[in-house]
Structure formats: C-alpha cells, structure tokens
Amino acid sequence: MRRTPFTMLLVAVVVFDLVFLALPNIVIVMISFTSGNMVAFPPEGFSLRWYEALLTRPEFMAALQRSLWVGLVCTALAVPAGTLAALALARFRIRFPTGLQLYLLLPFTIPLVVSGIALMLLFGRAGLLGSVWPVGIAACVINLPFMIWAVAASVNHLDPDLENAAMNCGAPPTHTFFTVTLPAVAPGILTGALIMFILAVNEFLVSLMLVDARIVTLPVLVYNAIRNIITPDLAAVSVVYLLIAIAAIWVLDRLVGLDILLENKRN
C-alpha cells in the first residue's frame, strides 16, 4: 500500500511522541545504574551501588512503607464508595444529576493546594494530624472520580436483564448484588482500585501538608532530598516508582486484560 505524505507525517508524529514520552524514563533508568557520585548522562560506568544504598537507608524503607500504607487505605475506602456511587449514578434517577456530576469534578477543578489546606485544617481540628492514614483518606477524596469512572464503564456494559433474571428466579436483592452485579463489574472495580493505589502512592502536595518530619511519605522524602543536592539514589527511587506502575499494569493485564480496559475506554 502506497503511503501518502499525510500518512508519513502522521507516523512521524506518533513516533516522535512515543520517543518523547519514553526518553525521560530511559534516561532516569540509565542514570540509576551509574557508578559515579553525581547525576550525569551518559552515566559513568555500571553499578548497583545506589540500589544497595536505598536498601540500607532506613528512612527510605520507612517512607516507602508509609506510601504503600497510604495506597492501601485509599484503595480500601475508594472501592466500596466508588462502586456504589457508580452503580447509583447509572441505575437510579437522582435529583440534580448535573450538580452531582459537577461535585464529582471538584477535585479536578480546585487546585490541590486549596484542597490540601482545607484537609489540613479539617484533620487538624479533629486532632488527626501526625498519622499516616489521614493521607490515605485525603488521596481517596481527591481521586475518587477516577474510581467512579472506571466502575461506570463496566456498569454501562452490564445487561440489566441478568439481574432481573436472577431476581425472577427467587434471588433476593442482596444475593443478586453479590453474585451477579459485582462479578459483572469486577473489571471496572479492579481497574479503579489499581488506579487509586498508584495515585495515592504518588500523592505529593497533599501529603506535604498532612505529614511532619517524623512520618514523611516517599514523595515528600524525595522532595526534601532534591532541595539540597540531586544524587543518583534519587534516580533509583524513580525507578522504584516505575516498577510499581509496571507491576500494577501487569496485574491489571493478568486479572482484567488491557484489551477489555481499552475497549471500555473507547466506548
């Protein structure tokens, strides 16, 4: 098939975009394996010293554990809240649906610094500052629309006749919900849960306002480190984030299938 100039231009733009998106990750991965003491590209030799340094730094391991705990708290709250909200929005007639949709978009329209200050004042008034789990609640509040949208994509593909058939066969509503509805929307739930977990682990600005020097999360630890000097161990931390994202995508592909997820996004 003969390629037209427009097709060649389109291919060139796509290739440029892919290289442009992948190049920073490739550079940071290469820097993390440097044997030198400074961040430089190309790296000076090959070494695993900076990964070994991370494993021997107790503050890094503690911050990583706190970030993972924030992700678990956020996901545990977002799964039931987002699932029920998506089902309610798709199945029931709700008064003022436009106002409710605008409310769900508030976390994206309000600057994170404003949300962080408001949550800091709220948790401070309640005496909850000084713990890690309020950061998970804050991450859930801010990113909950992602969970709702992920579940809503599966709810829109759910045939209501399946639930009606189960109830016509004598199944009570609760039994129908757990045996028919939830398994049918499970791909959306798993997708939303993984998205919420990754967003919570990466949450920085709100975490910066809700933690102190004793309980910093990993993004805050990295921020405090780059204020002094950027060393290759920070590149190794970035690779850890990349590995977490890759692992989440792999789990999503194994449990749900990326083809199903992409099909839901197109529809």
Domain spanning 56-266: CATH 1.10.3720.10: yes
**Would you say 77 and 200 are in contact if contact means Cβ atoms under 8 Å apart?**
no
**Every domain of the chain and the residues it spans:** 56-266
Please tell me the distance from the alpha carbon of residue 265 to that of residue 136, in angstroms, as a whole number: 27
Please tell me the distance from the alpha carbon of residue 205 to that of residue 232, in angstroms, as a whole number: 23
Beta strands in the chain (DSSP E): none
Nearest CA to 148 out of 87, 206, 230, 226 is that of 87
Helix segments in 156-214, DSSP class H = 160-168, 173-176, 182-184, 186-202, 205-210
What sign for the dihedral angle of Cα 161, 166, 170, 174? negative
What does the block give as tokens for 119? Answer: 């949550």
Q: What is the pLDDT, as a whole number, of residue 60?
A: 83
Q: Give pLDDT tens digits along the chain (267 positions).
A: 556 777 778 888 888 888 888 887 888 888 777 776 777 677 777 777 777 777 777 888 888 888 888 889 999 999 998 888 888 877 766 666 666 667 677 666 777 777 777 777 887 777 777 778 888 888 888 888 888 888 887 777 776 666 667 776 777 777 777 777 777 788 888 888 888 888 888 888 888 778 777 778 888 887 777 776 677 777 888 888 788 778 877 877 777 665 555 554 444
Q: What is the pLDDT, as a whole number, of residue 99?
A: 66
What sign for the dihedral angle of Cα 220, 221, 227, 232? negative
The pTM for the full model equals 0.78
- Residue 42: is the preceding peptide bond cis (ω within 30°)? yes
Cα distances from 157 to residues 87, 151, 152, 205, 229, in angstroms, run: 12, 10, 9, 36, 51
What does the block give as tokens for 79? Answer: 């799964």
Please tell me the distance from the alpha carbon of residue 38 to that of residue 50, in angstroms, as a whole number: 11
Nearest CA to 194 out of 250, 153, 135, 155 is that of 250
Residues 123, 126, 132: CA angle, nearest 5 degrees? 45
Which DSSP symbol is given to 119? H
Q: What is the pLDDT, as a whole number, of residue 97?
A: 63
Backbone conformation region of residue 235, classed left if phi is above 0, alpha if psi is from -120 to 50, else beta:
alpha
